[in-house]
């Protein structure tokens, strides 16, 4: 269990879940979490006839960490 930054019992959210909850676009959520440590990514590689897809699952602890970081940054800018 020490290798994972989250527990398996933790809630995991989709991009759509977070976008709806924060009232922002799906693309904004993808950009916000794409390189964030702890985010789970499933990918299907591009083939001759199909484009690639990547599905993200964001653990609750990662969502809270990013949300707090953005709150602090926006509070300091004001």
Grade residue 78 by pLDDT with cuts at 50, 70 and 90.
very low
The total number of structural domains that make up the chain:
1
Does residue 1 form part of some domain?
no
The pTM score is 0.74
Domain that holds residue 23: 12-45+52-77
Is residue 3 domain-resident?
Answer: no
**pLDDT of 74 higher than 80:** no
- The domain that holds 37 is classified in CATH as 1.10.10
pLDDT digits (tens, 9 = 90+) for 8-58: 789 999 999 999 999 999 999 999 999 999 999 988 777 788 888 889 999
Asked, for residue 4, whether it belongs to a domain, the answer is no
**16 domain-assigned:** yes
Q: Is residue 66 part of a domain?
A: yes
| Better-scored residue on pLDDT, 2 or 44 | 44
Domain assignment present for residue 39? The answer is yes
Q: Are 13 and 57 in contact (CB under 8 A)?
A: yes
Nearest to 58 by CA among 23, 13, 27: 13
């Amino acid at each position: 269990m020490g290798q994972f930054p989250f527990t398996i019992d933790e809630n995991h959210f989709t991009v759509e879940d977070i976008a709806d909850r924060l009232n922002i676009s799906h693309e904004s959520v993808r950009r916000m979490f794409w390189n964030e440590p702890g985010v789970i990514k499933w990918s299907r590689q591009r083939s001759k006839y199909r484009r690639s897809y990547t599905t993200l699952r964001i653990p609750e602890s990662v969502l809270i960490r990013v949300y707090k970081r953005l709150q602090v940054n926006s509070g300091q800018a004001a």
